[in-house]
């Protein structure tokens, strides 16, 4: 390499090898989908075919996950009704977030498969990440450090409050 230095991370090989072993027993989304919305389980809203919940490890305040009740790994396996419900719930969720958190934009994403970044590769889910100017900084380059300016309990209260309706 000319003017660039290499960053060696030999520990990653162990992570990559262990990631190939498959999913942990039980599915978080299947379990949460059977529960009523509350701040302990982070479930915000339930609809006919899908539900929303706060991400326990958020990228930003109000980071939601929208997922179908059925355990499906790919977007193309959803029925038309599930697909419609997924995006209708995503729209309602963004309207709630707009009312109580006032973001200036959003990132939406679906990771299908472990190599695509899916933390739960067997159960598809849509990420809704509210964004504000200046919400990115140098902190993500420090291992294990994230700056989230609102607790999950406070975000849950806001998103389920009468202000969000």
Active site residues: 125
CA separation for the pair 116, 137 (Å, rounded): 24
- Going by C-alpha positions, the residue among 32, 33, 73 that lies closest to residue 49 is 33
- Token readout for 12 is 């990653």
- Going by C-alpha positions, the residue among 86, 40, 96, 35 that lies closest to residue 65 is 86
The alpha carbon of residue 130 and the mean position of all alpha carbons in its chain are separated, in whole angstroms, by: 11
CA separation for the pair 43, 37 (Å, rounded): 4
Ordered alpha helix ranges (H), the chain: 11-19, 28-32, 80-101, 152-159
CA separation for the pair 165, 129 (Å, rounded): 19
CA torsion, ordered 89, 91, 96, 101, to nearest 10 deg: 130
């Amino acid at each position: 390499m000319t003017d660039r230095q290499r960053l060696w991370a030999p520990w990653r090989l162990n992570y990559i090898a262990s990631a190939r072993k498959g999913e942990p027993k039980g599915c978080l989304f299947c379990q949460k989908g059977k529960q009523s919305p509350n701040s302990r389980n982070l479930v915000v809203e339930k609809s006919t075919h899908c539900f929303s919940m706060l991400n326990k490890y958020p990228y930003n305040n109000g980071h939601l996950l929208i997922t179908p009740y059925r355990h499906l790994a790919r977007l193309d396996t959803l029925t038309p009704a599930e697909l419609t419900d997924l995006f209708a719930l995503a729209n309602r969720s963004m309207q709630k977030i707009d009312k109580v958190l006032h973001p200036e934009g959003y990132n939406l994403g679906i990771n299908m498969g472990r190599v695509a970044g899916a933390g739960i590769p067997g159960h598809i889910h849509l990420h809704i990440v509210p964004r504000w100017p200046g919400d990115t900084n140098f902190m993500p380059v420090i291992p294990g450090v994230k700056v989230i300016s609102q607790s999950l309990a406070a975000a849950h209260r806001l998103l389920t409050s009468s202000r969000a309706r």
